[in-house]
Structure 1
Amino acid sequence: MSKRFEGKTIVVTGAAQGIGRGVALRAVAEGGKVLLVDRADFIAEVAAEAGSANAAGFVADLETHEGAHAAMAFAARTFGGIDILINGVGGAIRMRPFAEFEPAQIDAEIRRSLMPTLYACHAVLPHLLARGGGTIVNVSSNATRGIRRVPYSAAKGGVNALTQALAMEYAPHNIRVVASAPGGTTAPPRRVPRNAAGDSEQEQAWMREAVQQVTESSFFKRYGSIDDQVGPILFLASDEAAYITGAVLPVAGGDNG
């Protein structure tokens, strides 16, 4: 395995499960000093899986600016600075027709899938500026075009806009801002479900409709794997992508969202 992140400090949010976990563990294997951030209290267990002193876990609620600020400050204290931020927090909490969403549920989707990325970007900038540059990789989604998750789609559209605007504003400071837009991805069962209340039979039916749409929209007619997503994210984070900024890379089997 290459050591393309040797000498780099990386913060990965949403690192307890799914794509974020895969990204963090691979980044450590490739030589990075990695802070794994999540609000799940088992994040330290995930960091220990890396089997390296270069991995540490930190519990924070990134739906608050205070949580994001604390995570970045801890990374800087622990590893002497920050070079790369990978924003992996997000995910649709519920899937239902838009007319069926309650106002509080709409707010919850935006808080989950936009605000952690917005806050983490804001919190990391002073550290990247102090470093003389750096990279932010936002994990968006191709679900900006899809059914049964309009608030989530709106949040990820916001991530795309944030990526492009921030890239333009901070390019003079040698800071790259890019995004990966995963499509449907098969992952192990979540230890912490996105919808803690559970899904009703009707919600499960709406979810099946969304899964069918995602599958049929892919040219390959299937979901991707965690590894299918990890590779492109870490490419965007690496120096191999040094002349790429402001871009949103679809990784969805041909469905560009």
Structure 2
Amino acid sequence: MSAQRFEGKVMVVTGAAQGIGRGVALRAAAEGAKVLFVDRAEFVAEVAAEAIDADTAGFVADLETYEGAASAMAFAVEKFGRIDVLVNGVGGAIRMRPFAEFEPAQIDAEIRRSLMPTLYACHAVLTPMLAQGGGTIVNVSSNATRGIRRVPYSAAKGGVNAMTQSLAMEYGAHNIRVVAAAPGGTEAPVRRVPRNAAGDTEQEQGWTSEAVRQVTEATYFKRYGTMDEQVAPILFLASDEASYITGAIFPVAGGDNG
């Protein structure tokens, strides 16, 4: 393994302003990649600037729209000339509650948040990858395809897994690899922009605690993973070290494989 294993590669990371996406983008830049940090948070350019002596840029886009995804991929090609790797990091449960307690609009919001950005970005990146003769897509899924208090989110991530396998089958002959990492519960810094801007009621906090307890107890280690423990497998899958891996869903969840 080279400390500069992404030297000469162009990587687009979505959801790069916070959480796992931020960690992936910064470490990829440290390992030699030219990186476009994409997020709808206005401070994404500040995060990109944290990669000292690296060729990076921030791009603000709402990836819950196709226009946002297409504009991000077009900007990457315009700035860097190609896209070798796309890491789809947008997603995350907005609310935790029993399924019967979800309102229809809340169900739609969960699907829009955790499925559509990946679906749109995968579609938008195919044109440049096909034109250049190949590429790699790493989707950040979740082991929460089996869990409590977040059925719509589970459905969205199940869709990401299905998309990953179908795209891999359809585009393998075009030298495009498509894989997914499926993180479990992860210790992360407090988000600058919360997923649920309205905040959680006391009852919702209780439901969230139930979900956290279920996630923790389901792991063999009885703990959440660290940020580094999630970033490293994603970058392995993105690298040429994984060149014969495609269509795979790679659980990173302490034994709870979803």
Q: TM-score, normalised by structure 2?
A: 0.99
Q: Which residue number in structure 1 is paired with residue 64 of structure 2? A: 63
Q: Which residue number in structure 1 is paired with residue 19 of structure 2? A: 18
Q: Which amino acid aligns with 2:229?
A: D
Alignment map for 1:32-51 (pairs within 5 Å) = 32-51=33-52
Shift of 1:222: 0.2
Q: Which residue number in structure 2 is paired with residue 73 of structure 1? A: 74
Q: Which residue number in structure 1 is paired with residue 140 of structure 2? A: 139
Q: Is the 8 A contact 2:13 2:24 kept in 1?
A: yes
Alpha-carbon distance between aligned partners in 2 of 1:16 and 1:240, rounded to the nearest angstrom = 26
Q: Is the 8 A contact 2:36 2:59 kept in 1?
A: yes
> Alignment partner of 2:63: what SS?
coil
Q: Which amino acid aligns with 2:203?
A: Q
Alpha-carbon distance between aligned partners in 1 of 2:222 and 2:132, rounded to the nearest angstrom = 43
Q: Which amino acid aligns with 1:209?
A: E
Deviations 1:50-103 (A, max 9, x none): 013511000000000000000000000000111100000000000000000000
Q: Which residue number in structure 2 is paired with residue 160 of structure 1? A: 161
- How much identity, in percent, do the aligned residues show? 81
Alpha-carbon distance between aligned partners in 2 of 1:243 and 1:72, rounded to the nearest angstrom = 25
Alpha-carbon distance between aligned partners in 2 of 1:6 and 1:217, rounded to the nearest angstrom = 38
Count of equivalent residues: 257
Structure 1 unaligned regions, length at least 5: none
Establish whether residue 30 from structure 1 lines up as the match of residue 31 from structure 2. yes
Q: Which residue number in structure 2 is paired with residue 245 of structure 1? A: 246
Q: Which residue number in structure 2 is paired with residue 184 of structure 1? A: 185
After superposing on structure 2, the runs of 4+ consecutive aligned residues of structure 1 that deviate more than 3 Å are: none
Alpha-carbon distance between aligned partners in 2 of 1:6 and 1:131, rounded to the nearest angstrom = 18
Q: Which amino acid aligns with 1:68?
A: A
Alpha-carbon distance between aligned partners in 1 of 2:227 and 2:79, rounded to the nearest angstrom = 28
Alpha-carbon distance between aligned partners in 1 of 2:7 and 2:32, rounded to the nearest angstrom = 4
Q: Which amino acid aligns with 1:232?
A: P
Structure 2 unaligned regions, length at least 5: none
RMSD between superposed Cα atoms in Å:
0.6
